């Protein structure tokens, strides 16, 4: 496997190479060539990842640590015994993430060629897009926490660049876009503080940051036994990789397992000490803070809906394939730590379940087509976080994969709608057709507002049917992919509560079922507002279907949204030619404590009935027309008006943060800047103490010292020289006889001085 695994640096380098080519040569290339370079780089990376994936079973699913050339000693300080290599790991978990990132990423790149056509910074956009892909691949392939953190920070940087890509739009839109980019960057830095603290504590506790050392196997996937082999030894073909040999040097997970097995290990922090279990709890709690930032969970989820300011392909890449999945990956990769920290796992479960419910409720009241999907992403991430918190690592990863399919489909579909509505708007106004909306010229037209749409199913059949598939998959309708992955999460919550007796399992099950109902409701509301009924604007009336570059990725993703559930059909469901739990068995080889799940027929039926009922209620409520005569949502015409307004206001989450955190911070900043820095430090201390003291000292040195003493002393010296010169001037008579006499006297004096020693000797005798 080592030969195939050695290809992994190329998976990272090729997207970076595509980024560099477009960075330096993009100005000389046309759009087709720029798009081909960027999409080709993503596609080649996918082919390499797929090649390694197909090779993995031939070598017993053995994980391999790869040392790329040149960077084998990345951070090496012999005197401090510090050696953190730039190592990459190829195992079933990293390969799963690589396939999702590069596969879905390639489709998004192809789609972006059509979507970004005509943009003045076309090449720069694809530079950022390839860069984003490269950093995400670093994140999921790193073999230690620091390499992972490099990718973690890299995707944060790229999200800033891409969310604020249209920073120069007119009418204040560009300012809002740049604010959204800054918000994403700052909120993620709060979460990154937690990740950094986890890294520091891990290094202090174990003396290394490596997940696994070369040749080391993971702890037993089912029973938790440590299974290792000597470097270079042949791995056992046993499912659990069992071996009787041991590795003396282990990574953080192997060391944690050994120390936990011994029991009673104490970690010393200078004047105080903690048990290893307590330290692991603190480490994982800090990791959770990082996860809430990157994967948009309460309380740090507020940046993700604003990230819609970026171009739609960016939204799809962030929400479906890359950045927001990093938190799920981090918890799954560190499953050994979370398994040993039940408190942290319970916190993860509750954070995910509450986030899923709240975000789903907020999505019901949104008008922006992308903002609905944004809150949907936050909600679905809550499902994944709750799953991994309950120990359902395979369930969380399964939903991550299927969600990448249908959420990428929905975002790209929304981009197709926005693109078509913008085109229809320009077409209508170019021909002077304003339809029934005579005020469109007077008020800015928002192509993302679903109130400006309607009737697009007939105008955009490919977009509609693919979007409908994505909607039903997200709603969890059988047999689409979302049904199987969401049902597995609900089943994990059910088992956690009823079988394991965990209170967080009961809470998660109740909250996630309600969140699933919200999902079905708000997605069918969106179908009604966007595609069904009659066009409500001239822009919708003239909206055309988009070209093949934008519709081809939709069709591929729609197929994946239909068939993606076959990746992990649960035990108890028999589908011809489809093995059960393919993904679970695959992940067992790299994720400790991964277990399969028996299909819960009653729970699946209950969840499906609830989803179908929610769709039925939404369809009845929003047909035949989804808006009232005054242009309001139908919910506002019912007794639920207050709840709709609360959802539309996003539970006043941003306003609450502004009042409790942002505004006090701004006031403190202004006080520090204006009062402390300017009034006190600048005006009083700097001016009164430093400047005035300097001026007084300079004045003293200039007047009494320089002018009064030094100048007068030199003036008197000058006067003395002048007086002496005046006296000597009298010797200049102008007569030759005087000069000859003076020379004679001078010569006699010189002769006398020469003969003076001889005279002293003569007198001495």
pLDDT in tens, 253-273: 999 999 999 988 999 998 889
229 falls within a domain: no
State yes or no: pLDDT of 518 exceeds 90. Answer: yes
Polymer length in residues for the chain: 765
pLDDT of residue 498: 94
Tell whether 36 and 109 lie within a shared domain. Answer: yes
Strand partners, 88: 66, 142
pLDDT, one tens digit per residue, over 573-612 is 999 989 999 999 999 999 999 888 899 999 999 999 999 9
Q: Which two tokens stand for residue 679?
A: 């009034």
State yes or no: pLDDT of 666 exceeds 70. Answer: yes
Q: Are 84 and 252 in contact (CB under 8 A)?
A: no
158 falls within a domain: no
Q: Which helix (H) or strand (E) holds 475?
A: helix 461-475
Query: Residue range 550-570: average pLDDT?
Result: 96
pLDDT of residue 75: 81
Helices (H), 633-711: 641-648, 653-657, 663-670, 692-700
Going through 451-577 in order, the beta strands assigned E by DSSP cover: none
b/e map 462-498, b = 16+ CB within 10 Å: bbbbbbbbbbbbbbbbbebbbbbbbbbbbbbbbbbbe
pLDDT level of residue 80 (50, 70, 90 thresholds): low
58 falls within a domain: yes
pLDDT of residue 48: 97
How many whole angstroms from its chain centre is CA 689? 47
b/e map 8-21, b = 16+ CB within 10 Å: bbebbbbbbbbbbb
pLDDT of residue 441: 42
Q: Are 378 and 301 in contact (CB under 8 A)?
A: yes
Tell whether 453 and 532 lie within a shared domain. Answer: yes
Q: Which two tokens stand for residue 692?
A: 């005035």
Tell whether 659 and 701 lie within a shared domain. Answer: yes
Q: Which helix (H) or strand (E) holds 430?
A: helix 393-430
412 falls within a domain: yes
b/e map 118-143, b = 16+ CB within 10 Å: eeeebbbbbbbbbbbbbbbbbbbbbb
Domain ends where: 112, 143, 174? Answer: 143
Cis peptide before 299 (omega within 30 of 0): yes
pLDDT of residue 172: 83
102 falls within a domain: yes
Residue % of the chain over a pLDDT of 70: 93
The domain containing residue 130 runs over which residues? 1-143
DSSP letter at 623 equals -
Domain ends where: 82, 108, 143? Answer: 143
581 falls within a domain: yes
Residue 448 C-beta-side C-alpha neighbours within 13 Å: 16
Tell whether 453 and 507 lie within a shared domain. Answer: yes
**Of the candidates 299, 539, 556, 575, which has an alpha carbon nearest to the alpha carbon of residue 420?**
539
pLDDT, one tens digit per residue, over 401-425 is 999 999 999 999 999 999 999 999 9
Domain ends where: 114, 143, 172? Answer: 143
Residue % of the chain over a pLDDT of 90: 68
365 falls within a domain: yes
Q: Are 363 and 382 in contact (CB under 8 A)?
A: no
The residue to which tokens 């970690």 are assigned: 267
pLDDT level of residue 512 (50, 70, 90 thresholds): very high
Report which of residues 562 and 638 the model is more confident about: 562
Compute how many other C-beta atoms are within 10 angstroms of the C-beta atom of residue 341.
Answer: 24
pLDDT level of residue 728 (50, 70, 90 thresholds): confident
Q: Are 666 and 658 in contact (CB under 8 A)?
A: no
pLDDT level of residue 709 (50, 70, 90 thresholds): confident
pLDDT, one tens digit per residue, over 414-470 is 999 999 999 999 887 776 554 444 333 445 788 999 999 999 999 999 999 999 999
Look at phi and psi of residue 486 and say left if phi exceeds 0, alpha if psi is from -120 to 50, else beta.
alpha
Helices (H), 207-324: 252-262, 276-294, 303-306, 312-316
Instruction: Write down the pTM of the prediction.
Output: 0.86
State yes or no: pLDDT of 233 exceeds 80. Answer: no
Q: Are 90 and 8 in contact (CB under 8 A)?
A: yes
State yes or no: pLDDT of 335 exceeds 90. Answer: yes
Domain total in the chain: 4
Tell whether 576 and 509 lie within a shared domain. Answer: yes
pLDDT level of residue 12 (50, 70, 90 thresholds): very high
Tell whether 111 and 80 lie within a shared domain. Answer: yes
Residues near 720 by beta carbon (within 8 Å), at least 6 away in sequence: none
**Of the candidates 570, 572, 574, which has an alpha carbon nearest to the alpha carbon of residue 584?**
570
pLDDT of residue 115: 93
């Amino acid at each position: 496997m080592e030969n195939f695994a050695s290809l992994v640096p190329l998976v990272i380098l090729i997207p970076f190479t595509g980024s560099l080519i477009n960075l330096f040569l993009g100005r000389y290339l046309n759009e087709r060539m720029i798009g081909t370079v960027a999409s080709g780089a993503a596609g080649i990376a996918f082919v390499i990842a797929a090649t390694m994936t197909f090779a993995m079973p031939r070598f017993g699913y053995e994980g391999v640590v790869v040392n790329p050339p040149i960077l084998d000693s990345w951070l090496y300080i012999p005197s401090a015994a510090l050696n953190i290599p730039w190592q990459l790991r190829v195992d079933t978990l990293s390969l799963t993430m690589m396939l999702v990132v590069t596969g879905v990423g390639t489709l998004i790149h192809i789609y972006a060629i059509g979507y970004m056509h005509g943009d003045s910074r076309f090449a720069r956009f694809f530079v950022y897009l390839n860069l984003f892909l490269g950093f995400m691949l670093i994140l999921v392939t790193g073999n230690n926490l620091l390499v992972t953190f490099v990718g973690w920070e890299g995707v944060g940087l790229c999200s800033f660049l891409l969310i604020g890509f249209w920073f120069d739009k007119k009418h204040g839109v560009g300012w809002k876009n740049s604010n959204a980019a800054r918000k994403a960057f700052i909120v993620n830095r709060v979460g990154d503080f937690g990740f950094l603290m986890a890294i520091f504590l891990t290094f202090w506790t174990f003396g290394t940051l490596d997940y696994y050392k070369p040749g080391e196997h993971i702890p037993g996937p089912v029973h938790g036994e440590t299974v290792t082999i000597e470097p270079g030894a042949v791995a056992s073909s046993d499912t659990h990789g069992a071996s009787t040999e041991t590795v003396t040097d282990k990574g953080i997970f192997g060391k944690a397992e050994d120390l936990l097995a011994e029991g009673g290990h104490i970690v010393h922090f200078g004047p105080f000490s903690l048990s290893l279990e307590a330290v692991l709890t603190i480490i994982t709690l800090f990791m959770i803070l990082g996860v809430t930032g990157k994967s948009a969970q309460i309380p740090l989820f507020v940046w993700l809906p604003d990230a819609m300011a970026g171009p739609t392909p960016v939204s799809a890449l962030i929400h479906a394939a890359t950045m927001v999945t990093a938190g799920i990956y981090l918890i799954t990769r560190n499953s050994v730590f979370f398994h040993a920290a039940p408190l942290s796992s319970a916190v993860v479960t509750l954070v995910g379940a509450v986030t899923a419910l709240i975000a789903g409720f907020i999505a019901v009241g949104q008008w922006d087509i992308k903002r609905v999907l944004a809150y949907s992403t936050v909600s679905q991430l809550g499902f994944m976080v709750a799953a991994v918190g309950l120990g359902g690592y395979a369930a969380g990863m399964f939903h991550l994969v299927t969600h990448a399919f249908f959420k990428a489909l929905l975002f790209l579909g929304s981009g197709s709608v926005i693109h078509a509505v913008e085109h229809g708007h320009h077409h209508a106004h170019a021909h002077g057709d304003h339809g029934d909306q005579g005020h469109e010229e007077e008020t800015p037209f928002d192509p993302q507002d679903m109130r400006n749409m309607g009737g697009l199913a007939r105008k955009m059949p490919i977009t509609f049917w693919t979007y409908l598939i994505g909607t039903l998959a997200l709603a969890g309708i059988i047999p689409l992919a979302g049904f199987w992955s969401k049902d597995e999460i609900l089943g994990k919550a059910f088992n956690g509560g009823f079988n394991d007796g965990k209170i967080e399992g009961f809470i998660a099950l109740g909250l996630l079922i309600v969140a699933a109902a919200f999902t079905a409701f708000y997605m069918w509301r969106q179908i009604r507002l966007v595609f069904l009924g009659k066009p409500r604007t001239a822009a919708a009336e003239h909206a055309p279907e988009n070209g093949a570059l934008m519709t081809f990725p939709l069709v591929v993703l729609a197929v994946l949204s239909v068939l993606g559930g076959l990746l992990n059909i649960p035990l108890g469901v028999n589908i011809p030619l489809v093995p059960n739990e393919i993904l679970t068995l695959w992940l067992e080889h790299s994720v400790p404590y991964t277990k399969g799940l028996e299909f819960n027929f009653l729970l699946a039926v209950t969840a499906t009935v609830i989803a179908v009922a929610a769709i039925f209620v939404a369809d009845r409520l929003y047909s035949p027309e989804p808006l009232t005569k005054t242009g309001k949502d139908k919910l506002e015409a019912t007794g639920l008006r207050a709840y709709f307004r609360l959802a539309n206001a996003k539970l006043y989450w941003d306003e609450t943060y502004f009042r409790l955190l942002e505004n006090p911070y701004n006031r403190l900043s202004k006080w520090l800047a204006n009062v402390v820095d300017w009034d006190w430090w600048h005006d009083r201390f700097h001016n009164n103490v430093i400047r005035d003291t300097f001026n007084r000292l300079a004045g003293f040195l200039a007047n009494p010292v320089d002018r009064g003493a030094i100048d007068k002393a030199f003036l008197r010296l000058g006067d003395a020289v002048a007086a002496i010169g005046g006296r000597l001037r009298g010797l200049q008579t102008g007569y030759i006889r005087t000069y000859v006499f003076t020379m004679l006297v001078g010569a006699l004096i010189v002769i006398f001085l020469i003969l003076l020693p001889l005279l002293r000797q003569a007198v001495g005798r």
